[in-house]
Structure 1
């Protein structure tokens, strides 16, 4: 799975160099955060040059946006590829929830979340915009679309599917996200318990009410 960026090269050699830079950027941002990340270190790890990075991405912020866009694009593509959606609403929500939990509790995902929360530099607002645009907002769009389909089919009663999608995601994160951010281990049993209760509560709240 690949995605075209504004400056993605069209030769195989250029594309491979582009991908190496993004992989090196991921490593450096995850390890050192945004403020502590050095473009020179990214150059060193990727085997590229400062000129190539500035040509492809413009600056450090552009490099962060490209890396994050690619990471979320690849993560969210799995929501369609793995057949999460079924004819049964409960099963679909359980599948979606498991995929989200698996994604947000990964070590690298937690590191990026901490980066966004703690960045205090001049690029803070832009980093938050990038995170929301390619992360939570895109995830919400996927789920809201599914919920809207169920409302249209008369299976759920929801006043605002976009709000409901955000609420469901927060429910399946529950107290576990903070626990993971604080460095504590989150077990599969805990994830499944939180998910089951979230799906149960959500569906009860969205039941079609008889007149």
Structure 2
């Protein structure tokens, strides 16, 4: 049994959460290049030295922001891929949650940041991939491998299958990034997920015995 945290530890955790929340809005509102540690320190009302005591660099702070942005999402995907349900129900649930996250306004702002500034700051692309897409691919491919072994899906490379399913789920994201469409309603989102699942099943569904 773990010992209760001291007041000092609780205060430090609360301060860290405040820093990450402030940095998150700064990065999303102004971009990576225009957001400096000094600017964030001013917004927090403290010194840059205090900020550095928590995060030694802007890259470390950006990583913490991405962890904060994706942590609940990763937990949601783990729940969607939980055992005990049939493959189609599980994948439809996964796709609905994944698409909902992709099209959320904060995620659209984050993707614009990564794409817009990744050329000048390639480190942010690598940080983003490690904190988000890579984890999703690993979770999904592990599930698909199990379904392939069970015969629910055609045996193939589960990592490639996971990437194909994710790409199908991203068909609306570019339209959102370009400002062409808005956030879909619940029924439209479900139909989009169902179409993506239908295409995936046509490619990876187990063959019916003659």
Same fold (TM over 0.5): yes
Pairing partner for 1:146 from 140, 143, 146: 143
Unaligned ranges ≥5, structure 1: 1-9
Instruction: Tell me how far 1:192 sits from its aligned partner.
Output: 2.5
Map 1:6-21 → 2, pairs under 5 A: 11-21=9-19
Indicate the residue corresponding to 2:169 in structure 1: 172
Aligned match of 2:36 in 12, 35, 38? 38
What is residue 114 of structure 2 aligned with on the other side?
116
Alpha-carbon distance in 1 for matches of 2:119, 2:164: 30
Q: Which position in structure 2 is the counterpart of 1:158?
A: 155
Task: Give the count of matched residue pairs.
Answer: 200
131, 136, 144: which one aligns with 1:134: 131
Deviation at 1:207, TM superposition (A): 2.4
Q: 1:81 to 1:168 in 2, by over 3 A?
A: closer
Q: Say whether the 8 Å CA contact 1:85–1:95 is kept in structure 2.
A: no
Indicate how the Cα distance of structure 1 residues 199 and 86 shifts in structure 2: closer, same or farther if over 3 A, else same. farther
> In structure 1, what is the Cα distance between the partners aligned to 2:206 and 2:79?
30
Shift of 1:89: 0.7
Q: Which stretch of the first structure deviates more once superposed, 88-97 or 37-46?
A: 37-46
Tell me which residue corresponds to 1:49.
Answer: 47
Give me the whole-angstrom Cα distance separating, in 1, the residues matched to 2:10 and 2:192: 45
Give 3-state SS (helix, strand or coil) of 2:101's partner.
Answer: helix
Distance in 1 (CA, whole Å) between partners of 2:166 and 2:84 is: 19
Q: CA deviation at 1:79?
A: 2.1
Q: CA deviation at 1:93?
A: 0.7
What CA deviation, in whole Å up to 9, does each residue of 1:103-151 have, x standing for no partner?
A: 11111111111111011575x1211101111111111111111101111
> Taking structure 1 as reference, are residues 41 and 85 closer, same or farther at Cα in structure 2, changes over 3 Å only?
farther
State TM-score, norm by structure 2: 0.87
- 1:48 positional shift: 3.8
Structure 2 unaligned runs (5+)?
1-7
- How far residue 43 of structure 1 moved from its aligned partner, in angstroms, is 1.9
Deviations 1:185-204 (A, max 9, x none): 13224432321111012112
Deviation at 1:86, TM superposition (A): 4.3
Which residue matches 1:65?
63
Pairwise CA RMSD: 2.0
CA distance in 2, matches of 1:108, 1:71: 9
